[in-house]
Amino acid sequence: MQTISFNDNWTCNGAPVTLPHDAMIRERRSADTSNGGHGYFPGGVYTYVKKFNTPADWEGKTVITEFEGVYKNATVSLNGETLCFHAYGYTGFYVELKKLIIGGENTLTVVADNAKLPNSRWYSGSGIYRPVWLHICEPEGLRPESVKLTAVSVDPAVVKVESRVAVKAEIAGGTGEGTRFEIAVPDARLWSETDPYLYTVKISAGENDTLEIPFGIRKIEWSNKGLFINGKETLLRGACVHHDNGILGAATYAESEYRRVRILKKNGFNAIRSSHNPASKALLDACDALGVYVMDETFDMWYNRKNPFDYGLDWEACWKEDVAAMVSRDHNHASVIMYSIGNEVAEPFEQKGVDAGKAQIDLCHRLDPSRPVTCGTNLMIISRAAKGNGIYKDGESNTGTEGKKQKGTQNASLAFNMIASVIGSGMNKGGNSQKVDALTSPFLDALDIAGYNYGSGRYPLEAKAHPERVIFGSETFPQDIYKNWGMVKKYPYLIGDFMWTGWDYLGEAGLGAWSYTGGLPFNRPYPWVLAGAGVIDILGAPDGSCKYASTVWGLEENPVIAVRPVNHPGVRPSKSVWRGTNAILSWSWQGCEGNKAEAEVYSDAAAVELLLNGKSLGRKKIKACKATFKTKYAPGILTAVAYDTAGREVSRSTLTSAKDAKLRIRPEKSCAKPGEIVYIPVEIADNAGIAESNADRKVTVSVSGGELLAFGSANPCTEEQYHTGTFTTYYGRALAVVRAGDGDRITVTASDRASSAEADILIAK
């Protein structure tokens, strides 16, 4: 089987494009368009066309096109003849290209219909936003995803091979033949977060019909005694992550997914929940390579819609093929340790919903009995639905005329966000009553592992109420991490915590942001565009919440200082329940001398002292890994000194103000291959790389020797667009993303009204 990239030389509505391509990110946002859930982006119908010639040696071959993701309602045609329709925007699908004109020109057409909004509770993107591949197969030979590998044991290591056709397989010198057989791997190196070792399994079904599969040998076990990977108890330090790539929109590049996983792991996370749809192949590849566990999730809705035009319209007809697509795609990925069948679905309040859940669980088990099945369950939502007071009313149900009763621009998350804002962390107790427990147990007991969204009040109760149940926090508030992690360490049946969210995202505008301009702490008006909920922003920079979590996890050797913005004197921000703080890792606030400042210090020591330019601001006991100091801003050096119970210094750290900050470009790598995606920070910073947080300016970026894919900042409220090449920095930072050309170098130039900067990246051939 031969696999080739099929991403070049497409057009979208007549304009040349290279896939992956997000058509929505270039649309003009407005207050009258869509809603805050979509980030005020409009939808549309996008026609993609690729003309290609087929060589003579394709005669007699089976040619299959693989679409990793098209949002949404994709119709695929070849030479004017319709081949297939695929409704769901997040599962990959395969299309056999029958009736190819061998030796001549063919036209492949894909129409992505994302015109009817709202159809998602977050920014979806539009079009062919994930890669496309062409597989040239022998008529009776190998097919994509036709070989399944399973580690049936690890001591000794044995790998089971299952194939639709007879094959010969080789791994680490061991071989086997047939359609179902096992291969022993002596002295195997086991895959885990600390050693993500991947073997290469070589598969052959005949001459010139081969493939290679990266495969990690590992074993998953779970019980009320915990989650065990290769026999070692494993606690999940989880991040919920949406699918978009920030300033790139929904476009999925391997380099982007690898970078995100690398940054998440660097900041202490060892697990990702793909919220609330199947992850990209590139993200799974990155997690395999870097050692990050994945909870891959199918749907945000079942047969009841959360939006007038969402996948709930198609769920009953399509869920089986979409569940199968995710499980088949995930099977050989060592990083995937759980399948999730949904997020905050209310359906299990009734028997039809319980049966729907069990049917999905059974299908996952039949397709892959090696992994547990879970669901991100909000007990309060199910309870309210049982009382006829469902939270996600905006989508109504499948019955009746499509969208007839809907206010088409309403944010489907609005009711939930309103309730969450009123009751705050009290939502964690929404499932504590015996009545709610009895209502939800038929569904929860059918799961291998029960995921609780904002249900931490149940954690201490489960040992007595459900002694065999295994649970985890599938969605939690970041500021609750100290309390939640204490329970994770205390209760063996509680295997981890996934915070909302690990990485900021487009849409659900202003959900987690602290605003200094007033307004409700949810459903913020245009031009809000980002959720503002990520403990790592869309550029990849961690904030105070992120470092607080890594401190609680015991991963920070030194105290961490974070400062709430000091450039809004006299203004009290409107806060979000999803963010306990808006502190960032900066003590550089030009022009803010004398303004009130609040510094948070995170440490697991006994006490901490804070000094400003050598003068002590006091010493405080550490409570819940945190101490807060109030002072007035003055430029210089802010120092935190941690002490043990005997008063001895154990560690220290500093934040320093920028000196002579200028426009600077710092590419994340100095050399790239042709076609590679490169990330290039553009900052207002000094020679030491310290960004100035209060001297933002509008910057224009130009590129030679490559293609500028996006340029933007992490500002959650802006009318600027990421594809124009001009954007205003935010807290001193912006980011350019460039695709390398095939010349000798990429030259990136950034300029503002007063200055410019330039950097080169060599292209290696």
CATH number of the domain to which 23 belongs: 2.60.120.260
Residue-level pLDDT at 403: 36
Domain contains 142? no
652 and 667 belong to one structural domain: no
What is the 3-state secondary structure of 104-123?
CEEEEEEEEEECCCCCCCCC
CATH number at residue 205: 2.60.40.10
Q: Which residue has the higher pLDDT, 401 or 227?
A: 227
Q: Which of the four pLDDT bands, split at 50, 70 and 90, describes residue 355?
A: very high
Minimum mean pLDDT among 4-13, 275-284, 379-388, 425-434: which range? Answer: 425-434
Residue-level pLDDT at 234: 98
455 and 516 belong to one structural domain: yes
What b/e sequence results for 581-616 when a residue is b if at least 16 CB atoms lie within 10 Å of its CB, and e otherwise? bbbbbbbbbbebeebebebbbbbebebbbbbbeeee
Minimum mean pLDDT among 164-178, 236-250, 414-428, 584-598: which range? Answer: 414-428
DSSP 688-752: T-PBPTT---EEEEEEESEEEEEEE---SB-S--TTSSEEE-BTTEEEEEEEE-SSSEEEEEEE-
Token pair listed for 26: 């270039």
Give the gyration radius of the chain's Cα atoms. Answer: 26
384 and 351 belong to one structural domain: yes
Pairing of β 626-632 and β 220-223: unpaired
Residue-level pLDDT at 33: 81
Q: Express each pLDDT in 81-134 by its tens digit.
A: 999 999 999 999 999 999 999 999 999 999 999 999 999 999 999 999 999 999
DSSP 3-state of 167: strand
Residue-level pLDDT at 426: 80
Asked if the model's pLDDT at residue 303 lies above 60, the reply is yes
d(C-alpha 710, C-alpha 249), whole Å: 9
Percent above pLDDT 90 for the chain:
91
Domain contains 551? no
433 and 394 belong to one structural domain: yes
Strands (E), 509-621: 560-563, 596-602, 607-612, 615-621
Token pair listed for 693: 């947080």
Asked if the model's pLDDT at residue 419 lies above 80, the reply is no
Residue-level pLDDT at 397: 39
Q: Are 297 and 240 in contact (CB under 8 A)?
A: no
Q: Which of the four pLDDT bands, split at 50, 70 and 90, describes residue 521?
A: low
Asked if the model's pLDDT at residue 694 lies above 70, the reply is yes
Q: Which residues contact 223 (CB under 8 A, 6 or more apart)?
A: 470
Asked if the model's pLDDT at residue 410 lies above 60, the reply is no
437 and 292 belong to one structural domain: yes
Q: Say if residue 709 is exposed, middle or buried (CB neighbours under 10 Å; 0-12, 13-18, 19+).
A: buried
- Number of domains forming the structure of the chain: 5
205 and 278 belong to one structural domain: no
632 and 739 belong to one structural domain: no
Q: What's the whole-model pTM score?
A: 0.97
Q: Which of 583, 752, 726, 712 is nearest to 655 (CA)?
A: 583
Domain contains 300? yes
674 and 579 belong to one structural domain: no
Q: Are 633 and 639 in contact (CB under 8 A)?
A: no
Domain contains 229? no
Per-residue pLDDT, averaged over 310-328, amounts to 98
Between the alpha carbon of residue 338 and those of residues 287, 364, 440, 448, 603, the distances in Å are 14, 10, 21, 9, 32
Q: Which of the four pLDDT bands, split at 50, 70 and 90, describes residue 396?
A: very low
Asked if the model's pLDDT at residue 35 lies above 60, the reply is yes
Domain contains 307? yes
Asked if the model's pLDDT at residue 603 lies above 70, the reply is yes
Asked if the model's pLDDT at residue 500 lies above 90, the reply is yes
CATH number at residue 526: 3.20.20.80
Per-residue pLDDT, averaged over 302-316, amounts to 97
Mean pLDDT taken over the chain: 95
Residue-level pLDDT at 406: 37
d(C-alpha 258, C-alpha 264), whole Å: 10
Domain contains 323? yes
Asked if the model's pLDDT at residue 402 lies above 50, the reply is no
Domain contains 226? no
Which of 656, 680, 704 finishes a domain? 656
Domain contains 227? no
Q: Are 329 and 145 in contact (CB under 8 A)?
A: yes
Residue-level pLDDT at 398: 36
100 and 203 belong to one structural domain: no
List beta partners, residue 163: 147
Which of 640, 656, 672 finishes a domain? 656
Asked if the model's pLDDT at residue 278 lies above 90, the reply is yes
Q: Are 371 and 220 in contact (CB under 8 A)?
A: yes
d(C-alpha 291, C-alpha 373), whole Å: 21
Which of 137, 167, 197 finishes a domain? 137
Range of the domain at 337: 234-544
Per-residue pLDDT, averaged over 646-674, amounts to 97
Residue-level pLDDT at 518: 76
Residue-level pLDDT at 56: 94
Per-residue pLDDT, averaged over 491-498, amounts to 98
30 and 116 belong to one structural domain: yes
Residue-level pLDDT at 95: 98
Asked if the model's pLDDT at residue 407 lies above 50, the reply is no
362 and 383 belong to one structural domain: yes
Query: At 374, phi and psi to the nearest 5?
Result: -135, -175
Q: Which of 746, 700, 759 is nearest to 725 (CA)?
A: 700
- The number of angstroms, rounded, from the C-alpha of 235 to the middle of its chain's C-alpha atoms is 20
Percent above pLDDT 70 for the chain:
96
Q: Are 684 and 615 in contact (CB under 8 A)?
A: no
Tally of CA atoms within 13 A in the half-sphere of 406 that contains its CB: 28
618 and 676 belong to one structural domain: no
